[in-house]
Amino acid sequence: MTVATRPGADADRAPGRLAALLASPGARLVGKRLLMAVPILLGVSVLTFWVLNLIPGNAAQQLLGPEATPEQVRTLEQQLGLDQPGYVRYLGWLGSAVTGDLGTSLVSGQPVTSQIGERLAVSGELVGLAFVVSLGLAIPVALLAAYKPGRMFDRVSMLVSITGLSVANYVLALLLVLLFAVELALFPAIGFVPLSESVAGNLHSMALPVAAIAFPLFCFYTRFLRGDLVDQLQGEDYVTTARAKGIGPGQVLLRHAFRNSSFGLITVVGLNLGTLIGGTVIVEQIFALPGIGQLMLQAINTRDFVVVQACVLVFAIVAVLANLLADLLYAVLDPRIRYGSR
């Protein structure tokens, strides 16, 4: 990563920089951030637990159905431990959570940790592919648009991205199903193929959900990056210096403006990454993907609070890690941020 994004002349220095990053200042940053994550995760779990308790109905009622007698419900509540006061249940949950055991599902009786692991892999693939696709398209499109602002390519790409930004991703998902699955029959609407079974089949089954998530992201990144690039090109003195050297506009754009614009992009991507893993819920539901979003939705319906709690916790952890990753990337790319090292 560090080597690939730097101009070649710096390549010989990059390993030294990586080593410096892994040495104390960078490591201190990671340590500090992970420590800061503890109160965040505690707060998130308390809040989730409290909100879930406010939802009427519990797992016992849901499992037994509307015909169950109050006695049956009470017995099951005792078996599941739902009769205990909230703080007791929370502390019990917390006690095992810190050891990595997120409890057993109230509904299926299976350990939540392993269940989430499988689901997270599917959601992770979905989000990961969506980021690769959206950034892979947005960066060249934004660069081309910013190369000649106001020209046809710029106008069309801005029109597309504004349109894309104003369409919710579940609407887009339904449109994609209608067009590519129903009308053209190019991609399946449902029928997830695990990666372990067939890579091609997996990608085929992932195409529409990835597109549904990637397209709004693509629109957003294109717009954001194009705007930032144009700001750099028109407003920054170092761009004038670069132009005054007599180098070509392509070099000015790539070596100077893009490099400085990438910081803003990384921040935005980091923020997106943190929220998106939880934002796949609806898309997973539409395409019947066995991801963590789908798991959480099912768990909410069955009042399987243990699973919901675990899902929310995972989302929070991903958000914290994504922001940390963005900050570390900053440090690698921006020489001014060196966390104390000179």
Partner 1 sequence: MSELASEPVAQREDVLGTATADAPVRGPAPDPAEPLLVVDDLRVRFVGRGRTVHAVNGLSYSLAPGRTLAIIGESGSGKSVAARALMGLLPSTARVSGSARFDGTELVGLSEREARRHRGADIAMVFQDPARSLNPTMRIGVQIAEAVRAHSDLDKAAAHRRAVELLAMVHLPAPQRRFHEYPHQLSGGMRQRVMIAIALAGEPRLLVADEATTALDVTTQAQIMELLLELQQRLGTAIVLISHDLGLAASYADDVVVMYAGQVVERARTADLFAHVRMPYTGALLGAIPRLEREPHSLLPVVPGQPPDLSALPGGCPFRPRCSSATDECAEGPPLREHEPGHWWACWHPLPDAPVKEGV
Of the candidates 18, 21, 214, the residue with the CA atom closest to the CA atom of residue 125: 214
Interface with partner 1, residue 245, by CB under 8 A? yes
The CA angle 40-43-47, to the nearest 5 degrees, is 140
Question: Site size for partner 1, by CB under 8 A?
Answer: 29
Applying the rule CB under 8 A, the residues between 153 and 172 that interact with partner 1 are none
Lay out the site mask for partner 1 across 5-44 (x = CB under 8 A, - = otherwise): --xxxx--x-------------------------------
- Residue 244 in contact with partner 1, rule: CB under 8 A: yes
Assess 198 for contact with partner 1 (CB under 8 A): no
Q: Report how far residue 220's alpha carbon sits from residue 157's, in angstroms, rounded to the nearest whole number.
A: 11
Distance, CA of 42 to CA of 40 (rounded, Å)? 5
Among 77, 83, 236, 327, binds partner 1 (CB under 8 A): 236
Among 24, 78, 110, 241, binds partner 1 (CB under 8 A): 241
Q: Which of 162, 249, 275, 341 binds partner 1 (CB under 8 A)?
A: 249
Nearer to partner 1, 66 or 340 (CB): 340
In the window 297-336, what residues touch partner 1 (CB under 8 A)? 333-336
Choose between 124 and 149: whose C-beta lies nearer to partner 1. Answer: 149
Stretch that binds partner 1, among 54-62, 68-76, 253-261, 295-303 (CB under 8 A): 253-261
Residues 64 and 25: their CA atoms lie apart, in Å, by: 56
Minimum Å distance from CB 250 to partner 1? 12
